[in-house]
């Protein structure tokens, strides 16, 4: 249809025109005083703001955790590339979500599909409450975005990753987020209390995981991942120290992710949420390590690390609605499930260098479903008042489980579908995989001109 | 008495039986509504929850600090092992303390010895306040647990470390913790206001340090630590960068540890606690470095790093009850004391790869005693109301000092005694030290199958 | 005039005399009960304390960020030295600022020049509010101090750095800080609302940046920085992973730095500040990377990392007083400005190994000026009440811009002037640069006796 040059030329012209329009608009606009950009608040409000902001800071810090975990699991020759991708998806996501994504996700509701107000956070959206809510949603958007970096690591062009960062921040995350958290159609399902996802097992993690699956599939496996006979080969990461640091940072940041999602510290339930978050991570790390020990006779560190994250992902949906023992069970299932997922995908020819699809995608689905079983009927839908969320094991009937099942199916279809389409279009237009020479050399020098560790002698695999 | 196989067989059967019993119990129980698992709170409560939770998150993050510090001080060939131990003691401790440890520590009081309620946090313990308190105590338990990893580094079997993790989390820490913080006999001593330990110089750090001493003694020194003539040899750690990062993370996390221990931000004393914490760390880092400079003519980075932690350990007991200048003096003493302790233990044949015994054990005792001297009579026993804690230098008489001295003696006897017994039993049963071949090769490959840094050429010491 | 030996002898005697005097004074003083060292507070106060303390902890954690960023940008042979400097400037600064610096900065006002009360935080300053404010200012002082480490990296004597740490903490930072934040003459300028600097683009960053410039100039460039024909050579840092971690930690910590500077969470404006902080960092990282791509055809990771920090520095002054779109524009300018600054300084023979002068100095000045253009008239001078700060683009006239311009000129003159004088005096007295042999070998072994990475084979450049 169109040549690559033509497409790029029109994209550039369109971008320029859009940029100039925005600039003119921004400079000529006036601050809306209908909203409250100044913000003199009560102590009750101050407590809410403290809670939400500090928790948001913790979630933002998870960017460092993902960078270290994914970087640690990569080879030294691709570390600069991985780190730069992690930095830039946050930078691009921060701008794109502020300008456009938030409006689509939370700017009112149009037929249950998306929002239509709050573009550029201007007018009534220049308001302390709106800015606060935007910031909260932004750090979740950025988490979804950065998950993909691991699945497509060591072979995707930097440019393609920049484009992807825009698409996930303005379309993939915001629209699904609207369906569940923005008053969209999933939240209105007539089963149970509608599709629920407390802090984002689905909205954040399954979205990231299955976009990553799409990316890994469109890219194909790395050189050397499969032997001539098709047997998968282990490609160990370059630094267990960084990977461990990454997991601890993620675990730490998750205490903002989950308890912070009450968006209100007057819900003292936050203590239960913190405990559940911790228990699931612990149980899953232990279970994943024990399964690996049983299978391989080694205390597999990589599986223990990914196990912890799998537990955190799994409990994210139900953390506010279950008891501590259920959090342990959810984690005990998540760890082996992650292990099985990694082996299954590997056997099917999907090369996911850090296990992101299994950790975030598969365990994200398990998280969505788990709520339908274990919700104990003591806490509401982001509320300390009835109706409370109740699952199958507590006599709540199967309605909630059905709503959760639908949510799980939809998140897979949406994230994988749009993700696949996006990567395919890019691949057809300008190609998303680096050249074989670049891949063998490592992406750091051809793409960035900087090896990550110039002072050290490496094995140069 | 019994063969190793028999013991293991019965341990496995017992574990299975216990597990099944628990599962049946958990699934058939009903949520207790006498307690409050939902939690709609006032702003006063919300402020308390914010404070305690965020501080607890900071303390949890110290796990990363210990991992990086201990890992940085190890050789590259043992880093995977060290990191995995740090991860798993937190995972195991989180489960064990939730299920059993908390009940022993804080579940009421039986003759000043231990608690007897709250098993599995069920019934009345499924309550937002109880969960909050459990989480707070858990992160302290995990800190005590992880300290030991450094003292036994580079030669202990992974399996033995897993067993140790359970014992410290359900017996060693909770019982001593009960004596001081749970209303046990030390807190009831008839001298001063009873044995006091604001944030755990003794309860956390001395416990960890002296269990570590027991482990280091039962294990014996690493190959190469002592020359044929018995002279100790320096075995430098593999990454000063990681170790420095670890110390900064610990310093950061300690601002949760100490100020958070008011468990109430309405005690504005938290500002004094934060300042004292910072001053002691700074003074001890400086003093330790200057002593090392005087002795060795070098600006010794390892000593400066350990000095900072020694100061933090030392001020942990008295941080709420002293003035800023006293915090400086406590730190100025802690730094050189740590230095002397390291040299003393080394000369006695105790090989503590990271200096944990001196930093946490010896400076923990100094912290306990320091309160008896410097408490200035302006803050109470976790209270802003009289009676205030007053030490010798402020006319308080020697009563408090005596109580502190008893606490110090008891913590040493308890932690070292039970620790020694535990490691000896394990050593007799299945052996806690890896084989000489494994030790020389490094523990990473034989135990975990994964070198920490496969891409780099190392000196393979 | 005086020989080096004589100067050192008298310095030592003076130090001893001062030390003894202090000790006698401290031990014989009594706690002042006019102040409130106990602190029983309302929930309103508790919320303020939580906010200020947690934000201060985040700012303190930026020490780790600077250590990792500067360390990552250094060569492996100087990493121990860099890390130890970062640790010790915080240790020394913590002591010096508590004892003397705070009194000079915030202890009342003498003719608009400096403070005169609160020495050693004794008497009326042993008070929960005073301690809180001291701690808040301390972490800012420590940030200014640690910025310089990067500019003078890889060639300054450790001893000289220790002396510098004292001078910046008791003179350079506190006096300029008094002028802007302590009620001094800049804050009283009769233009706009006087010279303003919300969280310290000038007070913290430009001060650090231009003292660093002085240091880099007095030291001269590193061996190998310039070829024989005078062309600057790239000396790549040893670890992009650590540098990236450092930037993420800084970005995280900056959410304490800027929003925390309201010192009051009842100003709900904190949400806008957090968003602005994030937007400027994102925009600057993107813009710096794109400029570098345009100039060099590579996705330059170092520029992207420094770009993020440049954006954070630039928004620090105006963060509370502008809209989100303006924060983006401020960042979009800061990124390329940083890039140009790095190239300009390099071309002028100033060797700044990490780009600190450009990032913190030049972008700090841009931050000061930007307020005069973009302040939107919706928030006051640390207040939610009028008069509000209004810049040129919002009809505020040029008064505020003039005040900002004066502030920018003064901060450059003060920091560079006093910095230059200090380094010159030290250089004449005992020399601040290590010997050529030490520099070529790397500073780690001659100064500290410890290589940073003894287990790895390095290229030993």
Angle between helices B158-167 and B79-96 (to 10 degrees): 30
What distance in Å separates residue A56's CA from the closest CA in chain B? 12
Q: Is C311 helix (H, G, I), strand (E, B) or coil?
A: helix
How many CB atoms are closer than 10 A to CB B395?
9
Q: In this predicted structure, what is the pLDDT of residue C411?
A: 98
Let me know the angle formed at the C-alpha of B100 by B5 and B105, rounded to the nearest 5 degrees.
Answer: 125
For chain A, state the CA radius of gyration: 22
> Chain C residue closest to A76 (CA)?
C241
Q: In this predicted structure, what is the pLDDT of residue B373?
A: 95
How many CB atoms are closer than 10 A to CB A348?
9
* Phi (first) and psi of residue C272, to 5 degrees: -65, -40
Say how many CA atoms lie within 13 Å of B120 toward its Cβ: 17
Q: Chain C neighbours among B 98-157 (CB < 8 Å)? A: none
Q: What is the largest CA-CA distance in chain C?
A: 68
CA distance B331 to B280: 4
Task: Give percent helix, percent strand, percent coil of chain C, each to the nearest 5.
Answer: 70, 5, 25
In this structure, are residues A145 and A169 in contact, taking their beta carbons and an 8 Å threshold? yes
Question: What are the beta bridge partners of residue B40?
Answer: A267
Q: Chain B neighbours among C 58-77 (CB < 8 Å)? A: 60-61, 63-64, 67-68, 71
The number of residues in chain A equals 461
CA distance A429 to A422: 11
Contacts of C54 in chain A (CB under 8 A): 50, 54
Q: Is the peptide bond before B99 cis (omega within 30 degrees of 0)?
A: no
Q: Is the peptide bond before B283 cis (omega within 30 degrees of 0)?
A: no
In this structure, are residues A450 and C236 in contact, taking their beta carbons and an 8 Å threshold? yes
Contacts of C47 in chain B (CB under 8 A): 47, 265
Among candidates C77, C247, C376 on the partner chain, residue whose Cβ is nearest the Cβ of A31:
C376
How many CB pairs below 8 A link A and C?
A: 217
Q: Provide the b/e sequence for B64-83 (b: ≥16 CB within 10 Å).
A: bbbbbbbbbbbbbbbbbbbb
Judged by a CB distance cut-off of 8 A, whether residue C47 touches chain B is yes
Among candidates C41, C128, C456 on the partner chain, residue whose Cβ is nearest the Cβ of B456:
C456
What distance in Å separates residue B9's CA from the closest CA in chain A? 17
What distance in Å separates residue B327's CA from the closest CA in chain A? 29
Across the interface, whether the CB atoms of B268 and C49 are under 8 A apart is answered: yes
Across the interface, whether the CB atoms of C255 and A448 are under 8 A apart is answered: no
* Phi (first) and psi of residue B239, to 5 degrees: -155, 105
Judged by a CB distance cut-off of 8 A, whether residue A40 touches chain C is yes
In this structure, are residues B319 and B311 in contact, taking their beta carbons and an 8 Å threshold? no
User: Can you give the pLDDT of all 461 residues of chain B as single tens digits?
Assistant: 456 677 667 767 777 776 676 666 666 666 656 788 888 899 999 999 999 999 999 999 999 999 999 999 999 999 999 999 999 999 999 999 999 999 999 999 999 999 999 999 998 999 999 999 999 999 999 999 999 999 999 999 999 999 999 999 999 999 999 999 999 999 999 999 999 999 999 999 999 999 999 999 999 999 999 999 999 999 999 999 999 999 999 999 999 999 999 999 999 999 999 999 999 999 999 999 999 999 999 999 999 999 999 999 999 999 999 999 999 999 999 999 999 999 999 999 999 999 999 999 999 999 999 999 999 999 999 999 999 999 999 988 889 999 999 999 999 999 999 999 999 999 999 999 999 999 999 999 999 998 999 999 887 65
CA distance A15 to C169: 48
Among candidates A236, A289, A376 on the partner chain, residue whose Cβ is nearest the Cβ of B31:
A376
Across the interface, whether the CB atoms of B282 and C128 are under 8 A apart is answered: no
Q: In this predicted structure, what is the pLDDT of residue C460?
A: 60
Among candidates B42, B64, B121 on the partner chain, residue whose Cβ is nearest the Cβ of A252:
B64
Judged by a CB distance cut-off of 8 A, whether residue B28 touches chain A is no
Contacts of A457 in chain B (CB under 8 A): 456-457
Across the interface, whether the CB atoms of A456 and B457 are under 8 A apart is answered: yes
Q: pLDDT tens across A356-370, in order?
A: 999 999 999 999 999
Q: In this predicted structure, what is the pLDDT of residue B459?
A: 78
Q: Chain B neighbours among A 325-344 (CB < 8 Å)? A: 325, 328
CA distance A418 to B49: 41
Across the interface, whether the CB atoms of A455 and C457 are under 8 A apart is answered: no
Q: Chain A neighbours among B 234-253 (CB < 8 Å)? A: 239, 242, 245
Across the interface, whether the CB atoms of B256 and C45 are under 8 A apart is answered: no
Contacts of A278 in chain B (CB under 8 A): 60, 94, 135, 138
Q: Provide the b/e sequence for A414-432 (b: ≥16 CB within 10 Å).
A: bbbebbbebbeebeebeeb
What distance in Å separates residue A438's CA from the closest CA in chain C? 14
List the one residue out of B126, B66, B398 whose CA is nearest residue B251.
B66
For chain C, state the CA radius of gyration: 22
Contacts of C304 in chain A (CB under 8 A): 84, 87-88, 91
Judged by a CB distance cut-off of 8 A, whether residue A230 touches chain C is no
Angle between helices C207-219 and C128-151 (to 10 degrees): 40
Contacts of C61 in chain B (CB under 8 A): 248-249, 252
In this structure, are residues A374 and A318 in contact, taking their beta carbons and an 8 Å threshold? yes
Contacts of A87 in chain C (CB under 8 A): 244, 247-248, 285, 301, 304-305, 308
Q: Domain C46-448 belongs to what topology?
A: Ammonium transporter fold (1.10.3430)
- Give the CA distances from residue B347 to residues A458, B82, B310, B359, in Å, rounded to whole numbers and listed in that order: 38, 25, 20, 16
Cβ neighbours for B33, distance < 8 A, ≥ 6 positions apart: none
Query: Residue B406: exposed, middle, or buried by beta-carbon count in 10 A (0-12, 13-18, 19+)?
Result: middle
> Chain C residue closest to B289 (CA)?
C88
Q: In this predicted structure, what is the pLDDT of residue A39?
A: 85
CA distance B87 to B92: 9
Provide the pairing of β-strand C376-380 with B388-390.
Answer: unpaired
Q: Chain A neighbours among B 273-312 (CB < 8 Å)? A: none
Question: What residues does each domain of chain B span?
Answer: 46-448
Q: Looking up tokens 């535990």, which residue turns up?
A: B422
Which parts of chain A register pLDDT below 70? 1-4, 7-8, 11, 18-19, 21-33, 460-461
Contacts of B267 in chain C (CB under 8 A): 39-41
Across the interface, whether the CB atoms of A37 and C393 are under 8 A apart is answered: no
The ipTM (two decimal places) reads: 0.94
Q: Provide the whole-model pTM.
A: 0.95
Provide the pairing of β-strand B388-390 with B376-380.
Answer: antiparallel
Question: What are the beta bridge partners of residue A232?
Answer: A226
Across the interface, whether the CB atoms of B455 and A458 are under 8 A apart is answered: yes
What distance in Å separates residue A456's CA from the closest CA in chain C? 4
In this structure, are residues C224 and C235 in contact, taking their beta carbons and an 8 Å threshold? yes
User: Can you give the pLDDT of all 461 residues of chain C as single tens digits?
Assistant: 456 677 667 767 777 776 676 666 666 666 656 788 888 899 999 999 999 999 999 999 999 999 999 999 999 999 999 999 999 999 999 999 999 999 999 999 999 999 999 999 998 999 999 999 999 999 999 999 999 999 999 999 999 999 999 999 999 999 999 999 999 999 999 999 999 999 999 999 999 999 999 999 999 999 999 999 999 999 999 999 999 999 999 999 999 999 999 999 999 999 999 999 999 999 999 999 999 999 999 999 999 999 999 999 999 999 999 999 999 999 999 999 999 999 999 999 999 999 999 999 999 999 999 999 999 999 999 999 999 999 999 988 889 999 999 999 999 999 999 999 999 999 999 999 999 999 999 999 999 998 999 999 887 65
Q: In this predicted structure, what is the pLDDT of residue C395?
A: 87
Query: Residue A297: exposed, middle, or buried by beta-carbon count in 10 A (0-12, 13-18, 19+)?
Result: exposed
In this structure, are residues A75 and A442 in contact, taking their beta carbons and an 8 Å threshold? yes
Q: pLDDT tens across B71-85, in order?
A: 999 999 999 999 999
Token pair listed for B342: 């390291």
CA distance B445 to A227: 23
Neighbouring chains of A at 3+ CB pairs under 8 Å are B, C
Question: What are the beta bridge partners of residue A114?
Answer: A110
Q: Is B232 helix (H, G, I), strand (E, B) or coil?
A: strand
How many CB pairs below 8 A link A and B?
A: 216
Question: What are the beta bridge partners of residue C321?
Answer: none
Q: Is the peptide bond before C387 cis (omega within 30 degrees of 0)?
A: yes
* Phi (first) and psi of residue C36, to 5 degrees: -120, 90
Q: In this predicted structure, what is the pLDDT of residue A45?
A: 95
């Amino acid at each position: 249809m169109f040549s690559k040059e033509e497409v790029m030329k029109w994209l550039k012209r369109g971008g320029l025109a859009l940029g100039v329009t925005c600039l003119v608009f921004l400079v000529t606009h006036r601050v809306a005083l209908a909203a409250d950009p100044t913000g003199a608040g009560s102590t009750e409000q101050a407590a809410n703001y403290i809670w939400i902001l500090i928790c948001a800071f913790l979630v933002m810090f998870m960017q460092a955790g993902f960078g270290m975990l994914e970087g640690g699991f990569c080879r030294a020759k691709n570390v600069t590339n991985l780190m730069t991708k992690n930095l830039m998806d946050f930078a691009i996501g921060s701008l794109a979500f502020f300008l456009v994504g938030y409006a689509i996700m939370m700017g009112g509701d149009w037929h249950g599909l998306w929002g239509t107000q709050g573009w550029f956070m201007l007018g009534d959206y220049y308001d302390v409450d709106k800015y606060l809510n935007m910031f909260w949603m932004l750090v979740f958007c950025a988490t979804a975005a950065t998950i993909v970096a691991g699945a497509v690591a060591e072979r995707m062009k930097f440019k393609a990753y920049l484009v992807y960062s825009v698409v996930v921040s303005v379309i993939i995350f915001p629209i699904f987020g609207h369906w569940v958290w923005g008053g969209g159609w999933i939240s209105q399902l007539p089963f149970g209390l509608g599709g629920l996802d407390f802090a984002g097992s689905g909205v954040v993690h399954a979205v990231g995981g299955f976009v990553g699956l799409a990316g890994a599939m469109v890219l194909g496996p790395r050189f050397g991942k499969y032997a001539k006979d098709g047997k998968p080969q282990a490609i160990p990461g370059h630094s267990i120290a960084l990977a461990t640091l990454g997991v601890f940072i993620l675990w730490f940041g998750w205490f903002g992710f989950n308890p912070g999602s009450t968006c209100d510290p007057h819900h003292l339930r936050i203590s239960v949420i913190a405990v559940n978050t911790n228990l699931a991570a612990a149980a899953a790390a232990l279970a994943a390590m024990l399964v690996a020990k049983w299978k391989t006779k080694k205390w597999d560190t990589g599986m223990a690390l990914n196990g912890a994250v799998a537990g955190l992902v799994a409990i994210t949906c139900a953390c506010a609605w279950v008891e501590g023992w259920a959090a342990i069970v959810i984690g005990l299932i998540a760890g082996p499930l992650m292990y099985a997922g990694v082996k299954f995908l590997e056997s099917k020819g999907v090369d996911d260098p850090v296990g992101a699809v299994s950790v975030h995608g598969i365990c994200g689905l398990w998280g969505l479903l788990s709520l339908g079983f274990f919700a104990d009927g003591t806490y509401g839908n982001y509320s300390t008042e009835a109706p409370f969320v109740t699952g199958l094991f507590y006599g709540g009937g199967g309605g909630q489980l059905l709503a959760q099942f639908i949510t799980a199916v939809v998140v897979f279809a949406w994230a994988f579908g749009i993700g696949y389409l996006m990567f395919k279009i890019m691949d057809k237009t300008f190609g998303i995989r680096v050249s074989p020479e670049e891949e063998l050399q490592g992406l750091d020098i051809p793409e960035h001109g900087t090896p990550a560790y110039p002072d050290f002698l490496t094995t140069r695999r």
